[in-house]
Homo-oligomer: A and B are copies of this chain.
Amino acid sequence: MSNDEGESRFSLPVRVYYEDTNTRGTVHHANFLKFMERARIECLRSLGVELDALRLHEGLLFVVRHAESTYLRPALFNDLLTVTTDLCAKGRVSMDFVHEVRRAADATLCCRGRIQVACVDAKTLRPRRLPERLLAEIADAC
């Protein structure tokens, strides 16, 4: 989970199926955000954080507060993509993730996204401090 620049980096392969595409022949722009979420969930899992357990045992949810995505090249049906996840900033109640989606075959950058995720109480949806355990793990990863 770290690279030369000292950032965390996690990589998830994602295959493009029909469900992801649209009649223009390309992956629908909103579906790239779903690919990024899959990568984020797997990145957190690699850090020991299971989101269903976090909700059940600690009453915490991670919710998207802000999302920004830039579309550079189309991804097509049957493409194998690589979605990277970098944790580029963290506060007490939120984290910023940067994702890149590239075609695995030639590393063409299709989409780049920056997603702010807040930690909230599962019942009240009010901001809650990120769990200490995660903060420690993230500190190691960054």
A→B interface (CB under 8 Å): 15, 17-19, 21-26, 28-31, 33-34, 37-38, 41-42, 50-52, 61, 63-71, 74, 76-78, 122, 125
Contact = CB atoms under 8 A, between A and B. Distances in A.
Contacts of A70: 65-66
Most buried by B among A30, A65, A71: A30
A37 B26 contact: no
Contacts of A71: 63-67
A119 to B, nearest CB: 13
Nearest to A31: B30
B30 A17 contact: no
Query: Secondary structure of the A side of the interface?
Result: mixed
Contacts of A69: 66-68
A61 to B, nearest CB: 6
A52 B30 contact: no
A91 B77 CA distance: 27
